[in-house]
Amino acid sequence: MQVRHVIAAALLSVSAVSAMSQELDPSHDRTFTASRTRESVKAETRNLQAQGELKAVGETADAPVVAVVPTPSAERELTRAEVKAELATWRASHKVRVGELG
**Residue 72 pLDDT:** 66
**Residue 15 pLDDT:** 74
**Residue 97 pLDDT:** 61
pTM of structure:
0.29
**Residue 99 pLDDT:** 61
Query: Do residues 48 and 54 touch, judged by C-beta distance below 8 A?
Result: yes
Query: Do residues 67 and 73 touch, judged by C-beta distance below 8 A?
Result: no
**Residue 35 pLDDT:** 86
Amino acid at 75: E
Name residues of the chain where pLDDT drops below 50. Answer: 102
48: number of Cβ within 10 Å: 12
**Residue 73 pLDDT:** 60
